[in-house]
Amino acid sequence: MPISENARSAEAIHRKLRAIAAVLLDPAATEHERTNAETLKIKLEKQLKQEATPGGDMAKYYVSIGPGD
């Protein structure tokens, strides 16, 4: 069974979030590194939520079938 493009993208975002979490948990990380990691984390979480919602990029592929169509 082939993996969809959205699944690959979501997996990539999860990997990036794990890497960011490692920076945030590292006691040797500088304040600058922590700030950058936090900013990236917020952006990636927003992207992940957008891809997970039906109204995201996949909306153009949904077809409404039913009475009145």
Q: What pLDDT is attached to residue 3?
A: 62
| Residue 68 belongs to some domain of the structure | no
What's the total number of domains in the chain? 1
Q: What is the pLDDT of residues 32-60, one digit of tens each?
A: 999 999 999 888 888 878 766 665 555 54
Instruction: Say how far apart CA 52 and CA 46 lie, in whole Å.
Output: 10
What pLDDT, on a 0 to 100 scale, did the predictor assign at position 63? 47
Residue 69 forms part of a structural domain? no
Q: Which residue has the tokens 């409404």?
A: 64
Look up the domain containing 34 and give its range: 5-61
Residue 12 resides in a domain: yes
pTM score, two decimals?
0.59
pLDDT of residue 68 exceeding 60, the answer is no
Q: From CA 50, how far away is CA 35, in angstroms rounded?
A: 23
46 in a structural domain: yes
Q: Is residue 11 a part of any domain in this protein?
A: yes
User: Radius of gyration over alpha carbons of the chain, in Å?
Assistant: 17
